[in-house]
Amino acid sequence: MKVFMEGSHAAAEAVKMIKPGVVCAYPITPQTHIVERLSEMVAGGELDAEYVNVESEHSAASVVLGSTAAGARSYTATSSQGLILMSEVLFNIAGMRLPVVLTCVNRALSAPINIWNDHQDSMAVRDSGWIQLYAENNQEVHDLHFAAYKIAEHKDIMLPVMVCMDGFILSHGYEVLDLAEQSQVDKYLPGYKPAYKLDTEDPLTMGLLGSPEVYTETRYAIQKTMDEALALIEKEEREFEKIFNRKQPLLIESYKTEGADKVLIAMGSICGTIKEVVDELRAKGQKVGLVKIVCFRPLPVEKISQALKGVKHIGVLDKAISLGAFGPLHLEISALAQIKNIATQPVSGFIAGLGGRDIRPKTIKEIFSLMDKGAQAASFVDLNKWYKEESPIMVS
């Protein structure tokens, strides 16, 4: 069914159809519209779930940890400082192999306090053992939630999944999207049947002390699962299309990369703008393309390598910066290019769109034009002119 809907409600409608038993969240802008809508659904009897209003994000994450361990499908959502406050628990959830799903409505980190979009929050927890999926538009916001639960609860995965959606741009932006039917969701995603849970009939101790004798193996097990998950996620892509009758890329999407000289790599809503610029430049005869990364964790190394094979100039657009080094996605693509021996030139890194600064087509064009002008390490391409003139960039 076609509807005109903001991204937050597209997420909430998906969560409703997923039928979690426990929803728990703490309010933070711009996540609030999702959980407000879910609490309305619970209050109105549309969603049969326990809605737990907690006193902090640390507790929100802890509640869904506990409820998932008890055997109930659970959901939470947060942004920015909330995600960072949760971070201790996020690592714990992954280590305990609990298939929690969380929506991260991406927002910048303080200081200065800033409620607008970038990817610094989810990038800061990229090592936590969570699978991370990034949505380009509200259709993807809706659809990725179904896939997120399917992936998280897969018996051979059992890892938490974070659905990342750009704050305000998607969460508060209205778009036409095709809402799923409940029957499709029920077919795609059966009820949660945990392989292990806190059960008085079959007692089990969770969260044990892992000595140096076993700790490495627990980490290796997650790394191995992440690796194996790539094939399972790709399978889910086909399964999703079969049931929902639409394509939802779950690993990457290659856009006009055939015969491209220059390919830009990015995640999230900016990919929509990049596609328009690619169309415009292609029309002018420039051989440019985009690789959109949907699944950042696990990083689809083979898929990305295949998409970049033979591309002369590779650029990465990060809406985050590992301060004192490079853009996080840039770092990983550079490593991948070296390990897979695909780059003929160094991979360039561009930083833009921090704290809600709009990335305009002009900036994307500038990035494409810089991509064959020598390596860019962490080039802040949308700095204000007055700042650029006053102080040279430390890393450029």
Positions touching other proteins (CB under 8 A) are 21-22, 24, 48-50, 52-56, 58-59, 62-72, 74, 88-89, 92, 96, 198-200, 203-211, 214
Question: How do strand 348-351 and strand 313-318 relate by DSSP bridges?
Answer: parallel
Q: Which of 132, 106, 119, 118 is nearest to 34 (CA)?
A: 106
Side-chain-facing half-sphere of 45: CA atoms under 13 Å? 0
In whole angstroms, the minimum distance from the beta carbon of 385 to other proteins comes to 45
In whole angstroms, the minimum distance from the beta carbon of 110 to other proteins comes to 20
In whole angstroms, the minimum distance from the beta carbon of 162 to other proteins comes to 18
Q: Return the bridge partners of 290, or none.
A: 255, 264
Q: How far is the C-alpha of 270 from the C-alpha of 98, rounded, in Å?
A: 31
In whole angstroms, the minimum distance from the beta carbon of 220 to other proteins comes to 15
DSSP per residue, 215-284: HHHHHHHHHHHHHHHHHHHHHHHHHHHHHHSS---SSEEEES-TT-SEEEEE-TTHHHHHHHHHHHHHHT
What are the residues whose beta carbons fall under 8 Å from the beta carbon of 4, sequence distance 6 or more? 174, 175, 176
Helix, strand, or coil here: 394? coil
In whole angstroms, the minimum distance from the beta carbon of 283 to other proteins comes to 54
Q: Which of 269, 53, 240 is nearest to 146 (CA)?
A: 240
> Residue 29: which region, alpha, beta or left (left: phi > 0; alpha: psi -120 to 50)?
beta
In whole angstroms, the minimum distance from the beta carbon of 91 to other proteins comes to 9
In whole angstroms, the minimum distance from the beta carbon of 61 to other proteins comes to 8
In whole angstroms, the minimum distance from the beta carbon of 97 to other proteins comes to 13
In whole angstroms, the minimum distance from the beta carbon of 125 to other proteins comes to 15
Q: Which of 120, 24, 37 is nearest to 79 (CA)?
A: 120
Question: How do strand 131-134 and strand 252-255 relate by DSSP bridges?
Answer: unpaired
Q: Which of 115, 176, 118, 169 is nearest to 142 (CA)?
A: 176
Q: Which of 375, 377, 350 is nearest to 365 (CA)?
A: 350
The residue (of 64 and 329) whose beta carbon lies closer to other proteins is 64
Report the residue count for the chain: 396
